[in-house]
Amino acid sequence: MTQHPIIVVGAGIVGISTALWLQRDGHDVVLMDKDKPGQAASYGNSGLIANWAVTPVTYPGLWWALPRMVLDRRAPLFLKWRDMPKMAPWLAKFMGNATDRKTRQIANSMATLLTDAVDQHRALVKGTAVESWVHDSKINFLYPTRRAFDRDKYNYDLMADAGQHADVITGPAVHEEEPILGPRIQCIAQMSGTGHITDPGNYAAKLAEHFAAQGGRFVRATVQDFGFTGGHVSQVRTDQGAFDCAKAVVTSGIWSKELTRKLGLNIPVESERGYHVIYENPSELPRNPMLLSDGKFGVNAMDMGLRFAGTVELARHTSPQSQRPLDLIQGYVKATFPNLTCTGTQEWMGNRPTLPDSVPIIGPLKDTGIFAGFGHQHVGLTSGPKTGRLLAQMIGGAGPNIDMAPYSADRYLN
């Protein structure tokens, strides 16, 4: 009898990485998505391989800072107020992680996924057409003053615990290091050993093409349900018909919430929405990627222009786009890069899938034969290749050489 394939549902960077690693392990794999590969959050991110991004949005003191941040029009946190009643249970769990103990626990779990991210990307792309697309770089964290940097000590201590250390640049050396900056920025914390991608959406799409060229199949379809035989998944049912499978993997970002509900599971994933603005044909470019500390967005020179991507908006993924985050980004851009001009701009909004503890689910969903890889919040691009590798190891039976308990779905299902 012919063995049925493993179906990976979701063709963002996590799903594509999973499909590639499974394929390399000798499995027959079908990649499935309602859109083309490399869309949604895999397209619109900052392109930073953020191996340093171990600190979650929740941190000690957030309870006290939150009211001020919500009311401050220059703060990079937004709430869609009409969505708050429905999001209240998730928000309560989310804010429950704003303690020192929880923050350090989360940072340790994320460090395991992130600190070797550049190497994981290089392993994923080896032998593909995008092997040269993974760029080594430094990251410059921008601060208006040295005092503002000093106030961020807790964050840098967590990064240092994960092996990521920053050098501080102040005074005239700031503008020698980055001539694009205006006088508002007086301090840079510079970290080496990071990386970036200059076209993350196309990067993922090209990897999907490589998967297909190696014998994999991509099916464009909307998944509607799963079929089971003896309690084990045996079909993925779509608007294009039913597809038999040996196992299935859910890597559908924010849409994983609806898919796992088909299994009778209530996994609390919500959208931590991000925005970007692309400045087309910019008059000047930074020497290295940047992250604006007070605006909380990344700055990365990409093939299509200079992309400013980030901010946090807590809202349901079905809610319409807001204008305020886009206005905030452009306001900070004008203040920080006063001589920057461009021929036009593009705007985008996307849904980052976030669990209350900011740690993704990676592993089996009970004993159903369905595995999951979602909930990567800001670091889906960064941790996608390693997540795919871990899932392939678990599905293949070899088992990863790290403790997978922090990423288990059981923490929300027991």
Token couple for 18: 């999973």
Per residue in 276-289, pLDDT tens? 999 999 999 999 99
Q: Are 265 and 163 in contact (CB under 8 A)?
A: no
Residue ranges with strand state E in 286-337: 290-292, 297-302, 305-315
The band of 62, judged by pLDDT with boundaries at 50, 70 and 90, is confident
Distance in angstroms (rounded) separating the CA atoms of residues 177 and 200: 26
Check whether 1 has a pLDDT greater than 50.
no
Distance of CA 133 to the CA centre of its chain: 18
> For residue 367, what pLDDT is reported?
93
In percent, the amount of the chain with pLDDT more than 70 equals 99
- Report helix angle 13-24 to 200-213, nearest 10: 30
Distance in angstroms (rounded) separating the CA atoms of residues 289 and 140: 6
Per residue in 282-322, pLDDT tens? 999 999 999 999 999 999 999 999 999 999 999 999 999 99
The band of 138, judged by pLDDT with boundaries at 50, 70 and 90, is very high
What's the first-to-final CA gap in the chain, in angstroms?
37
> For residue 247, what pLDDT is reported?
98
Distance in angstroms (rounded) separating the CA atoms of residues 301 and 282: 9
The letter for the amino acid at 237 is R
- Side-by-side strand order, sheet with 361-364: 217-220, 29-33, 6-9, 247-250, 370-374, 361-364
List CB contacts of 224: < 8 A, sequence separation 6 or more: 237, 238, 239
Go through the domains of the chain in sequence order and give each one's CATH number: 6-42+202-268+358-413 (3.50.50.60), 67-109+136-197+270-354 (3.30.9.10)
Distance in angstroms (rounded) separating the CA atoms of residues 373 and 43: 18
Which helix (H) or strand (E) element contains residue 173?
Answer: helix 173-177
Per residue in 348-364, pLDDT tens? 999 999 999 999 999 99
Q: Return the closest-CA partner of residue 45 out of 399, 302, 294, 293.
A: 302
Q: Return the closest-CA partner of residue 96 out of 63, 129, 130, 141.
A: 63
When the pLDDT of each residue in the chain is averaged and rounded to a whole number, the result is 96
**How do beta strands 247-250 and 241-244 pair?**
unpaired
Q: Return the closest-CA partner of residue 272 out of 51, 63, 76.
A: 76
Q: Are 273 and 315 in contact (CB under 8 A)?
A: yes
Distance in angstroms (rounded) separating the CA atoms of residues 123 and 127: 9
Q: In this structure, how many other beta carbons lie within 10 angstroms of the beta carbon of residue 111? A: 20
Burial class, 51, CB count within 10 angstroms (exposed 0-12 / middle 13-18 / buried 19+): buried
Distance in angstroms (rounded) separating the CA atoms of residues 214 and 209: 9
Check whether 2 has a pLDDT greater than 70.
no
Q: Is 280 helix (H, G, I), strand (E, B) or coil?
A: strand
Q: Are 138 and 190 in contact (CB under 8 A)?
A: yes
Check whether 80 has a pLDDT greater than 60.
yes
The letter for the amino acid at 364 is P
Helices (H), 214-278: 256-261
Distance in angstroms (rounded) separating the CA atoms of residues 323 and 95: 25
Distance in angstroms (rounded) separating the CA atoms of residues 404 and 74: 39
pLDDT (average), residues 204-224? 98
Check whether 341 has a pLDDT greater than 60.
yes
Check whether 69 has a pLDDT greater than 90.
no
Distance in angstroms (rounded) separating the CA atoms of residues 6 and 248: 6
List CB contacts of 57: < 8 A, sequence separation 6 or more: 272, 312, 354, 358, 377
- Report helix angle 100-114 to 380-396, nearest 10: 70
The band of 63, judged by pLDDT with boundaries at 50, 70 and 90, is confident
